[in-house]
Amino acid sequence: MSNLSSKILERLPKRHSEFLRELGVFADKKKSKLYLVGGFVRDIILEYPNLDMDFVFVGDAISFVSNFTKRKKVEVKKYPEFNTATLVFSKNLRVDIASCRKEKYPEPAALPLVSKGSLRQDLMRRDFTINSMAISVNKNFGRLIDYSNGYEDLKKGIIRVHHEKSFVDDPTRIFRAIRFKVRYGFKIESNTSKLMRKALHDKLIEKLTPVRIKHELVLLLEEKYPKEAMANLEKLGLFLHINKNFKIGDSLELYDEIDIRRKDIKVWLFYFLPLVYSTTLATSIEIGKRLGFTKKEEEAIIKLHIAKERLKKLPKDPLPSKVYTFCRELPGEVIYFLSSVSKKELGQYLDKYSKVRLEITGKDLKKMNIEEGPIYKEILEKTLLAKVDGKIKTKEKELEFVKNYLGFKQ
């Protein structure tokens, strides 16, 4: 396969292909060379959905973009430190254009030193052969440039690094290899697999900063098959390199019970919870710290452990108000996780109980000549719980409940 033009145009929405053509014509006019690269090229060949167009430009990408966007209605973000610009036409059409570069790793797992390079250097600095192809956007639109047999590897479903030091330079590539393996059902070539294990054995994951490990783990948890992704990491023994007590064990089976996605929860955090469900609270906190969790994310894992214990004390068929008070301090991810693996009634909180609101307010209590103070909170809380239990439905009934409640107390 050497020309992919029809395949690209077939798969792109009109707006995207018009943009490509315009960009190509402009590059020709400027006698400059521009290429589509990376994941977009891989996915075009695989016919896998992907509208994330990344370009490399031979020369100064920022001035090219500045010239191209003159008198155009488009938001341009420039990143001179990376010689890159992002063009945002709309929510669905945003592209990165970077200058071709080469990289040098000053030490294992450190960020690379970057300098201007050729297209070949730019492609060969990449992680795997399947991610190292380019497609010309110029006059010869659609021509494939493939210096490392990426096309053949892609057709065979093989993930292969370019050189022996690839995982030493950048151990995040271990996570990336698993990401593509699981997503496309590919195989990791045997030498690549050996190098990956050697990097793990040589403790290179330990050298990564929290933010880089977290980023990769989040991407894996957001993939379509988080269980398979985690099973692959477990098989490699990778979790133990994040924390020496990070043992997954039977937790993987929990994934079979929690394949539901909701808009109101953070998918990756939800899929992270099984990993720490069976570890101790102390280990979970250490793991959260190693991964650079935010306060809120750390809180979610602490609350998971607390709720797991408290759950033991919840009656077998709890009243809705019991479920309500159990859940209301918990993040949605924790509620949904526990409702999937342990107590399905908790799911009602998200779907139903959390939406219950009182019609009466403090003003109504004032009208009833109740003296203002902490009692207001107590009355409203009791009324709300009664409403959650379905005992009252209308405003009149709420007022009646308050009267009874106070009468009962006096």
Q: Smallest gap, in angstroms, from Cβ of residue 21 to ligand ATP?
A: 22
Of the residues 83, 84, 99, 131, which one makes contact with ligand ATP according to CB under 6 A: 131
Cβ-contact 33, 119 below 8 angstroms? yes
Region binding ligand ATP by CB under 6 A among candidate stretches 124-132, 252-260, 288-296, 314-322 = 124-132
Residue 53 CA to residue 42 CA, distance in Å, equals: 11
Of the residues 16, 101, 126, 227, which one makes contact with ligand ATP according to CB under 6 A: 126
Check binding of 127 to ligand ATP (CB under 6 A): yes
Q: In the complex with ligand ATP, which residue's Cβ is closer, 186 or 337?
A: 186
Q: Smallest gap, in angstroms, from Cβ of residue 128 to ligand ATP?
A: 8
Q: Of residues 231-250, which lie at the interface with ligand ATP (CB under 6 A)?
A: none
Q: In the complex with ligand ATP, which residue's Cβ is closer, 126 or 387?
A: 126
Q: Smallest gap, in angstroms, from Cβ of residue 156 to ligand ATP?
A: 18
- CA-based nearest residue to 35, from 127, 142, 108, 129: 142
- CA-based nearest residue to 275, from 341, 205, 185: 341
Per DSSP, the residues of 192-207 read: HHHHHHHHHHTT-GGG
Q: In the complex with ligand ATP, which residue's Cβ is closer, 77 or 395?
A: 77
Cβ neighbours, 10 Å, residue 353: 22
Q: In the complex with ligand ATP, which residue's Cβ is closer, 103 or 299?
A: 103
Q: In the complex with ligand ATP, which residue's Cβ is closer, 28 or 54?
A: 54
Check binding of 339 to ligand ATP (CB under 6 A): no
Q: Smallest gap, in angstroms, from Cβ of residue 387 to ligand ATP?
A: 46
Residue 373 CA to residue 378 CA, distance in Å, equals: 10
Residue 94 CA to residue 65 CA, distance in Å, equals: 13
Check binding of 340 to ligand ATP (CB under 6 A): no
Per-residue string for binding with ligand ATP, 19-38, x by CB under 6 A?
Answer: -------------------x
- CA-based nearest residue to 3, from 44, 33, 39, 43: 44
In terms of Cβ atoms closer than 10 Å to its own Cβ (0-12, 13-18, 19+), residue 376 is middle
Buried b (16+ CB within 10 A) or exposed e, 65-77: beebbeeeeeeee
By beta-carbon distance, which residue lies closest to ligand ATP? 39
Tokens coding 311? 């759950």
Tokens coding 331? 């993040």
Q: Smallest gap, in angstroms, from Cβ of residue 110 to ligand ATP?
A: 13
Cβ-contact 255, 276 below 8 angstroms? no
Residue 102 CA to residue 117 CA, distance in Å, equals: 5
Cβ-contact 314, 251 below 8 angstroms? no
Check binding of 210 to ligand ATP (CB under 6 A): no
Check binding of 96 to ligand ATP (CB under 6 A): no
Check binding of 383 to ligand ATP (CB under 6 A): no
Q: In the complex with ligand ATP, which residue's Cβ is closer, 165 or 395?
A: 165
Whose tokens are 């009874």? That residue is 404
Residue 287 CA to residue 244 CA, distance in Å, equals: 9
Check binding of 39 to ligand ATP (CB under 6 A): yes
Per-residue string for binding with ligand ATP, 164-203, x by CB under 6 A?
Answer: ------x-xx--x---------------------------
Check binding of 212 to ligand ATP (CB under 6 A): no
Region binding ligand ATP by CB under 6 A among candidate stretches 123-131, 207-215, 341-349, 395-403 = 123-131
- Which residue type does 189 have? E
How far is the CA of 277 from the CAs of 214, 233, 254, 274, 283, in angstroms?
18, 17, 9, 5, 11
Q: In the complex with ligand ATP, which residue's Cβ is closer, 25 or 267?
A: 267
Q: Smallest gap, in angstroms, from Cβ of residue 324 to ligand ATP?
A: 40
Region binding ligand ATP by CB under 6 A among candidate stretches 127-135, 261-269, 289-297, 364-372 = 127-135
Residue 240 CA to residue 2 CA, distance in Å, equals: 44
Residue 132 CA to residue 145 CA, distance in Å, equals: 9
Residues in contact with 71: Cβ distance below 8 Å, sequence separation at least 6, in sequence order: none
Check binding of 122 to ligand ATP (CB under 6 A): no
Count of residues interacting with ligand ATP (CB under 6 A): 12
Interacting residues toward ligand ATP by CB under 6 A: 38-39, 52, 54, 126-127, 131-132, 170, 172-173, 176
